[in-house]
Amino acid sequence: MGRATVVLLVIGVLVGGLLVAGCTVIVAAAVLFSGSDITDPFESAEFATIEEWPAAAGFAEDFQLDFPPSSRDIRIAADGFQDPIYQLRLSIDPDELPILVTSIGCNGLLSQPASEAPGSIIDDEVPWWTPASAEVYQECSGGATPGREQRVFVDLTDPDRTTVYVLVFYF
């Protein structure tokens, strides 16, 4: 075996090792994030009541929001890799709205939206993300910490049920 062959063989082994190490890091990160107790399964989930959502307490703590006791019809979707995005929708009794709004850092303030209700950030085909259908609608931003922003959109159209949409962005 010539000297050039040995050099090429060593270079090949080094490059192959770097590729394997890089793939291992990517796979480990994917397993870490997808196994998160915030959303399991990672991409989307549906729960009839807050008691049925095993990760509700972790989500509430991580995103600084208190789920009112009447929380129901819960939908959550997550996407992203380095900068995750979460979309959460739930229905609550109208008299419990202050619990959620205060906990997210809106200081009890909701205002008329400055712009149209947002479409789905994660996927245009998320059938349950329908804030644009609201006739009576308010919003606020809150829970902002360095690298994260939350926006709350509240559908007040039905006097017996308040539907709350929450966007959580990491950047």
Position 26 pLDDT exceeds 60: no
pLDDT at 167: 84
pLDDT at 41: 36
Average pLDDT over residues 49-69: 85
Position 81 pLDDT exceeds 70: yes
Residue range 123-145, pLDDT digits in tens: 666 788 888 888 888 888 766 67
Of the candidate ranges 6-20, 32-46, 109-123, 149-163, the one whose mean pLDDT is the lowest: 32-46
Helix (H) or strand (E) holding 113: none
Of the candidate ranges 41-45, 108-112, 137-141, 158-162, the one whose mean pLDDT is the lowest: 41-45
Average pLDDT over residues 45-63: 85
Structure tokens that stand for 72 in this block: 């129901």
pLDDT at 17: 47
The closest of 126, 128, 170 to 149, measured between CA atoms, is: 170
- Cβ atoms 169, 148 nearer than 8 A: yes
- Kindly state the DSSP code that residue 125 receives in the 8-state scheme: T
pTM: 0.70
- Cβ atoms 160, 73 nearer than 8 A: no
Position 165 pLDDT exceeds 80: yes
Annotate 16-52 with DSSP letters as a single string.
Answer: HHHHHHHHHHHHHHHHHHHT-SSSSSSSEEEEEEGGG
Average pLDDT over residues 66-78: 90
- Cβ atoms 87, 127 nearer than 8 A: no
Position 20 pLDDT exceeds 50: no
pLDDT at 12: 56
Q: 120 or 167: which carries more pLDDT confidence?
A: 167
- Cβ atoms 123, 89 nearer than 8 A: no
